[in-house]
Structure 1
Amino acid sequence: MNLASTSSIKVDYNDSKKQRLIYPENILDQKTGQQFAEASRMFEEANIALKVATNDASYAPAVLGFASGYLLQPRIVDIERGIFSSDKGAILRSILLDKERRENLYKTEDENFNRTVKIAAHILIAFEEYSHLNSLASVPKNLLGKIGVQTGEMIIKSALQAWDDVIAIESENSLFWYMKGEVLATIGRQDDAIVCFRKGIDMNPNDYRSAFGLALNLPTYTLKPKVIEETLKALDIYLENAPICDENMYHACFYKIMLITGNKVVSDTWKKFLDENPGLLDTIVELWKKGFKAFTILERWFPSRIDYLLYKKTILTMEGLYNEGLIKDVEGVHVCDFCGKDNGKLMRCKACNVALYCSKEDQEKHWPKHKGICKKYNVKI
């Protein structure tokens, strides 16, 4: 069955069998931002379907819409929160969590439709469990207490079981193995997570999510050449296939810079390092450009997800290249943060030591936007 046979979900209340689940492979080549826009549109349509739902079976279009939005962009929860917070949303949640009521969603004569809705229903359950797991991971263990630990163990078990349930229905989709790997990585089972990420890449060589998960969890700290090589290959899969708007893009760019330089530029000068490693400069600059572009896009959409410490380190790294005369300029490094121009006499924000301005006037004009992140930049390296 080809579940990705349509490009989007069209809500049709008279014939809900037209609903189909969208998998992320459909959007790999789309332009920046379309992924988020499409996922947001799916949520809008799902909310409309939710409002007109009456009996259990009529909630199926909403289930498909929400699940497709998540599949297209799992972090879309940052845009569309509170799916289950409304009265109708609470009903949908109760349907999903009750096995008997959940089966009413897929009791039609169309077996393909039933299978699709069944997968979608379990996906919504799994994403909710994963959200609970992430909330648990942010709580210090010393604050959990005995009851908290028991609750945590139950959440972990539920999160794993939820993705196992999805995989039991549809085992050949790389995204589901990636999400199970994410759960395993979150609870500290890196070796098991790596197995899932590798499986995802085996199923779909262009699966950028599994590739980044693999790169992030491989033990590069061992400095074993084979591990470094596999990590770089995984990063290349990600960089070649992920949309620039993906939240991990700038991490991947800067991580690869660190790996190909061996992180030796912390102690050596750039000039000395590049004299010993000719040919790396162009690669480093191109990776930085892509990482900077991804960062600016992410800052506009999801500022809460930005690692400002990593970004500041990278800014200083590129400045080292500039100061040693290895590059004349890199777009975004030595331009005014307000007007985008370089008059050769840029002044630096004294608070964060990162933002640059043509004049005091431009700094003042930019302050309303800059003040929210100025303190986050202001981290000692």
Structure 2
Amino acid sequence: MHTEYRWITTPVTAELLRGALEVERTERGVLPHRLPARARAQCADPQLAMAEAQPSGVRLAFRTRATAIELDTFPTKRVYVGAPPRPDGVYELLVDGRLTARGSVTGGNTLTIDMLAGTFETEPGPPGTLRFTGLPGGTADKDIEIWLPHNETTELVALRTDAPVEPAADRGRRVWLHHGSSISQGSDAAGPTGTWPARAAALGGVDLINLGLGGGALLDPFTARALRDTPADLISLKIGINVVNADLMRLRAFTPAVHGFLDTIREGHPTTPLLLVSPILCPIHEDTPGPGYPDFSRLAEGQIRFAAAGDPAERANGKLTLGVIRAELARIVAQRAGDDPRLHYLDGRALYGEADAAELPLPDELHPDAATHHRMGERFAELAFAAGGAFADRGGTS
């Protein structure tokens, strides 16, 4: 039986969104960004442009008595030449904080990527519609969150409900601002609330702003300024893997770049708890420098594996490995501790280490799977938000 709804259309505005640093108005609707326009203008890297426009951690948040919701979106789907089709991005509906439903949207742009030729081609398509029905009724408003796909660029076209909506109220939660690589963005998580930062935020009772940028945790000054200028009660930085697999710099450049990154953030957040997290275990880069490279030999089977092309002997010339970076990050935090007592260090292997790798190996030698994201989120919550942790609630932050 088909139910007819009396739809109310509500414009999608920044007031209805959480987790985005900027909202761009497009010809079709609005596009959430996780880096501001000033930062985007300072880097022409198409990988960074794609990653920051994929709305990891971004969600619609509103209150309503509606029992049905429709959301028109215009996604950008990725197709890799020679590989099986990728699954559609996942949207997740939370009602009063509980995961209630999941869905996907067809249509939108198709971005065809030929990794062997290094080419990109975009083919336009129509918008799609996400529908959630059968929500609890009654006379009381519900808190609704629709988490957008963490790995699929998503323009928001129209929001329709069968009852009026209003922006979600401020719940008085602390805001956690996190920056990292594709592992922080979500890599192979099962859905947007299943990325390890989203899982940790739920357990820690904080509101997440996720600046995990696939391939983009490179100590860029414009990213440091974005972090500096974003209001937050808690800040974490997960640094290392992209610096190594991009073969971006040597130790001589890495150390002052980390200091400069921290100095810039401290200009806007002088006393905010700031947790510097080193890389999780990644066997291919523990003792072998970058660059990293993808192995396409199993592409037709839908598998891409990563390997390290560097020579371990090059560490003597300042080439970086994950082991070198962990030692240097720990040393930097210890050096700054006297002047910055709210700067903390966490060894990433406490989130995913050798025992975890034996049980849950990285499927492509680089990115964790869905189960590992879940475990990492729980570990981070235990280490950072619990009593004695860098983010323990001590009755207020600066």
State the TM bucket, normalised to the shorter chain. under 0.3
TM-score (norm 1): 0.24
TM-score (norm 2): 0.23
Quick check: which one's helix share is greater?
1
